[in-house]
Chains A and B, each alone.
Chain A
Amino acid sequence: MSEAIISDWRLLELTLDEIGPFRNGPETISFLGDTPALEMADQPPGPANLYMLLARNGRGKTTALEAMHGLFGLLASPPTGRFVDPRAEGRAQLDVRATWTIDGRTSTVLLSIWTGSASPLASWSPDRLEEEAQASQWARLGLARGPGTVVPTDDSNELGLILYRSIKEGAGRLSTEMFGNAPDLPTILLFPADRMLLAPTDRRTVERPDNWIYQPAQRFGVDGETWNGSIENLLVWLAWLGEGELEQAIAFINENMFDRDKVLRPPSRRELTTYVSTPTGNHQVSALSHGERALLQIYLRTIAHMTRNTVILIDEVELHLHTRWTHRMFSVLKALVRSMPTLSLIFTTHDRELIKMFDHPTPEAGLVKGGFLITEDMD
């Protein structure tokens, strides 16, 4: 059986119809960049790796993020996200340009993954495929939802099914490395606006965290209610593995999160608890401020769960954060995007200062900036 090895992964378009506020016929959000990276200033920007989605409340930006997560969530084991319910309304299609190697042959493919209809919402003619997607083949993967099942639709083709099988086989596989070093399969990490980091209340034990596996889509909302889904368990597990990941993770957090006044320490093996050293003593992670916990959640979940082909979705990126911390986190995320050629970040914000700081017309090294403003007159 053929298996796809993916070496590039870029979102091109999201098309939504009859979902949330998208009610006036299919609406398409393009993820092509608006501003090329500084070093590529004389070339068309191509797909964005740093993308800002703006809208007033209730205009559909959260819907768009959840739709992207939900489409790949249908491939997860078990399926997850907004489309899992067979009664979920509407149609959605995500178009991704990917470079695949199948049976030793590498090609650039446009993958359309959709749900809610038998056929794709948006079609790619050969001309469009070549000019807009710069792809040589169109992989189609429609996903039909039934009670407890997700199956490819008849309009899917063999290329789409190869990806389907690859992801299904990979889903659930144990993670082994951090910072996107494994595996090749794509993943979408969603940080919704209702995210928060709680202290686990159940018994602490040394056991593998539930989500320390490959999944094509993961959501980090209320994080840590249970020990098996908590960041503290993740840190304990990394300490237990003793393969260096814990030291990398802690160094990353301390470098990017604290102003030297605080230091995240390795977990106490005796207590299975992680402490932060502060000028006033050692405090548990759960005693950090809301803002610090928000940063910790995004930083740690990102570096722990990203694969080589990752799209990070952050709804209301400034949530819980003082404006200085928002800017600092944004700088860290930009650095992460720069350092990982196949990482993309899509975020929403209501922070007008951050919108200005994003500075969409100004090229920056390693960043292809793009964005979209969902307005009332969606025509």
Chain B
Amino acid sequence: MPKLSSIVDTEELDNLYADKAIVYVEGESDEAVFTVLAGPDIGDRLEFKVPKTGGSGYHAVRDRVLEERGRGNAKIHGLLDGEASASFGHILHLIENRETLFQTTDPALEGLIFLSETELENLILCHAGVAEFLTNNVTLAGIGGQDLEAHRSDLVSLSQRFYLLAMMKFAAGELHRTGMPCKQVDKLAGRFQTTESTLKITREIKASIEKDGGDWNAFVTKLNELMGRVRERFTDDGTRPPPKERQVRRLADGKGLLKRVIGKNNGQRNWEGHLVERLRQSPYAADFRQALLHETGA
């Protein structure tokens, strides 16, 4: 029976009193989307929250989860983008994961649950039927004038572009953790929104890395290693979409890709709300809910 003096702040007290699974997420938009996906009838078992203290980002969630679990509340969890697992040193776990959500065995990440996708936007790109949305996003006069296959093909093509960006970021992150300065990819990520070829952008990144005294060969080696691990999952198993398309879209830079898709189709940011609604109606929502309840024990 804890005295309140053993409870650091009102948030921790609220969580202990609530006596249900508390899932910290990075921001209010994540909270809103995950709440929609999890459905309206789990409030007695699980609640999403954004940490009120400790800054923002993956680390704020991780620190908060570890802090509260360290004081004995095993019902505290965090739900983060898949790329967070990479930033914590578990990129291979992300690449090889086959579940809707996953946890690592790293004691320093106890209680943290990761999306199988790089970012929340990848959920939309993978499961919300974006090509179908684009086909139907027309005026009455435009009905039948859109080519679904063309949108699908375009999405595959753009996914490849932003998959490369994500893999470059992951490779840079891996090298950064070994002490090699490798911020050039992040600095030039915006170039992927242009119509420049990936070859030209890659050359710019190479030049930037070498200018800053970085090791381009080490970067390429790490990039190839990671992409090789992803390729191991490309074996055609007869499912649709084919594994390569699925993995590329799952691991692409989701924010960049979705922004490009919306921009290229003269869309607005508020398309995101419509796409989240499509995501809620997709089979993924049920998978997400089941996986979340399983991982949290709620």
Contact = CB atoms under 8 A, between A and B. Distances in A.
Given A352-B18, A355-B17, A375-B16, A27 B10 contact: no
Interface string A44-72: 00000000101010000000000000000
Given A56-B19, A352-B18, A373-B7, A360 B13 contact: yes
A360 B1 contact: no
Interface string A20-60: 00000001011010110000000000000000101010000
A77 B10 CA distance: 42
A370 B2 CA distance: 11
Contacts of B14: 352, 355-356
Given A56-B19, A352-B18, A34 B5 contact: yes
Interface in A157-190: none
A30 to B, nearest CB: 6
B148 to A, nearest CB: 48
A356 B17 CA distance: 11
Interface in B9-26: 9-10, 13-14, 16-19
A373 B10 contact: no
A52 to B, nearest CB: 7
Nearest to A54: B17
B3 interface: yes
B143 interface: no
B8 interface: yes
A372 B13 contact: no
B1 A361 contact: no
B10 A52 contact: no
Contacts of A370: 3-5
Interface in A354-379: 355-356, 358-361, 369-376, 378-379
B5 A373 contact: no
Contacts of B19: 56, 375-376
Contact of B3 (A27, A355, A356, A371): A371
A213 B277 CA distance: 65
Given A54-B17, A352-B18, A373-B16, A359 B10 contact: yes
A174 to B, nearest CB: 40
B8 A373 contact: no
Contacts of A52: 4
Contacts of A369: 4
Contacts of B2: 372-373, 375
User: In which size bucket is the chain B interface?
Assistant: 10 to 19
Interface residues of A, number: 26
B121 to A, nearest CB: 32
Nearest to B19: A56
Given A361-B8, A361-B10, A34 B3 contact: yes
Nearest to B16: A373
A373 B17 contact: yes
Contact of B1 (A352, A355, A356, A373): A373
A378 B4 CA distance: 15
A221 B62 CA distance: 47
B7 to A, nearest CB: 7
A379 B2 CA distance: 10
A326 to B, nearest CB: 16
A52 B10 CA distance: 12
Given A355-B10, A359-B10, A360-B10, A372 B17 contact: no
Interface in A314-366: 352, 355-356, 358-361
A358 B10 CA distance: 8
A27 B3 CA distance: 13
A36 B240 CA distance: 64
A360 B7 contact: yes
A371 B17 CA distance: 12
Interface string A94-117: 000000000000000000000000
Contacts of B16: 373, 375
A34 B3 CA distance: 8
Nearest to A55: B17
Contacts of B5: 34-35, 370
A34 B14 CA distance: 17
Nearest to A377: B1
B21 to A, nearest CB: 15
A30 B4 CA distance: 10
Contacts of B18: 352
Given A30-B3, A374-B1, A361 B17 contact: no
A288 to B, nearest CB: 31
Nearest to A352: B14
Contacts of A34: 3-5
B182 to A, nearest CB: 41
Given A54-B13, A372-B3, 4 more contacts: A29-B1, A360-B10, A361-B9, A373-B2
Q: Which 4 A-B pairs have the closest CB atoms?
A: A34-B5, A371-B4, A360-B4, A356-B10
10 contacts: A29-B1, A56-B19, A352-B17, A352-B18, A356-B10, A358-B10, A360-B7, A372-B2, A373-B16, A376-B19
